[in-house]
Amino acid sequence: MEEARPVRPEELDQTLALVNRVFRTGVDQDMSTDYPLVFASANLNNLRVVSEGGRIFSHAAMAHRELREHGCALPVSMICAVATDPERRRRGAASRIMEDATQAMAARGDAFGLLWTGPARDFYRRLGWEVVGSNGWTYLVEPQQAGRFEQPLPVRPFQAETDLERIIEIHEAQPRQLTRTQAEYRTLLTLPNSEVWMAEETGQAEGYLVVARAYNKSGVVEWGGTSRALSSLLARVLAEPAGERMQVFVPLPDNPMTELLTGRGCHTRIPMEVADGCGLKMVRILSLANLMRQLSPHLEKCLTGCSGQVSLWVRETGERVDLRWDGDNLEVGGGRSRDPQNGAQELSLRQAARLVFGPEKPSQVLDLSNESGQGLDRAFPFGFHIGMLDYV
């Protein structure tokens, strides 16, 4: 078996055949069009494979993005399409690729790695990944509830040439997001088995909504705009096809869609992780010190006016992180050592993921002194939402 490496352009077809065999057998969809940004030629360097005798038999992809959340701009990589040929499993190929991807993510300074999985949670846990706090809610709306939504605005299909700029404007006015280029917006808004609807008044679009009916994405996977617009759009898409229950994805904190749904008596909801097409959200810490530095804008906001300090030592990597805060001042220091010197708290990579991303408070993950514990409990868990349209 060869070492893990980036795929070569001439191997792309063979790689797609493998991931389609593993993820799309019996499904009338194709991974290259379901995840066009992942399998784009510009992303080939992020597709990692293992081959033997010229035959590719294991693969994982990275999709690199910037996450804007709580005033921080975090470079992250989402991992997708991790697959080994069924006849060559349990020989360490996927683990080798995941280690290679982890090194690549760390080398480019990503804040963390991110993925969603159903069946393979324990495979990833062995590699330092951990399930973290929830990504959002999924409301389950019945077609007979369509009548609860007024339709004050006319609704029409999206036209890329004229509507793209306005959608970008509406989406980017929302407080949290994964950044996209204009070309990426265009690609995501024209995915197969999905429709985009616009609600407008006197020529100005007030809102939009993306509804997908695909194997990997199902329901209202993105929306934006005023409450009037969202109501009109929901009334339109719930009305057909008759008889179908619709998943509507929303972030955890307050937002206009949740307000609208609950205000109309739609209360049935499940954690996003258990909705169709999702999966458990898992994070891999790459460098805890780097992550803490990237989270500084958030930490400074949460820790202002108090003082404390905590030293952490990550068992698997020997990385030491010293956090000290006092008044307006936050310092992140650290280095490497063979053991947890000077009273640093020892933790595993998986505990580090939970310390930062929850779901519980840091003082439930680690035994922290009162003062430091209170400080960290104020800053974490750091919740973040990735919209369903951006899922890879």
Ligand X SMILES: CC(C)(COP(=O)(O)OP(=O)(O)OC[C@H]1O[C@@H](n2cnc3c(N)ncnc32)[C@H](O)[C@@H]1OP(=O)(O)O)[C@@H](O)C(=O)NCCC(=O)NCCS
- Give CA torsion, residues 237, 241, 247, 253, to 10 deg: 10
Contact 170, 208 (CB under 8 A): yes
Q: Which of 61, 63, 72, 94 touches ligand X (CB under 6 A)?
A: 94
- Count residues near ligand X (CB under 6 A): 17
Question: Which of positions 20-59 make contact with ligand X (CB under 6 A)?
Answer: 22, 58
Spatial contact of 357 and 192, defined as CB atoms under 8 Å apart: no
For 70, the token pair is 């709580």
The residue whose two tokens read 């998986």 is 350
Work out whether 229 is an interface residue with ligand X (CB under 6 A): no
| Minimum distance of ligand X from residue 274's CB (angstroms) | 15
Question: Does 87 help bind ligand X (rule: CB under 6 A)?
Answer: no
Which of 71, 92, 318, 327 is close enough to bind ligand X by CB under 6 A?
Answer: 92
Please report the DSSP string for 281-329 in residue order.
Answer: EEEEES-HHHHHHHTHHHHHHHHTTEEEEEEEEETTTTEEEEEEEEETE
123 touches ligand X by CB under 6 A: yes
Q: How far is the CB of 50 from ligand X (least distance, A)?
A: 8
* Minimum CB–partner distance for residue 5 and ligand X (Å): 16
Of the candidate residues 93, 275, 291, 332, the single one contacting ligand X (CB under 6 A):
93
Three-state SS string over 320-377 comes to EEEEEEEECEEEEEEEECCCCHHHCEEECHHHHHHHHHCCCCHHHHCCCCHHHHHHHH
Question: Residue 195: which residues within 8 A CB-CB, separation 6 or more?
Answer: 157, 158, 210, 211, 237
Interaction between residue 1 and ligand X (CB under 6 A): no
Q: Which stretch binds ligand X (CB under 6 A): 87-95, 167-175, 290-298, 338-346?
A: 87-95
- Asked if 120 interacts with ligand X (CB under 6 A), we say yes
Member of 82, 212, 238, 347 binding ligand X (CB under 6 A): 82
Please, which residue, 119 or 203, has the CB nearer to ligand X? 119
Residues contributing to the site for ligand X (CB under 6 A): 22, 58, 82-84, 89-95, 117, 119-120, 122-123
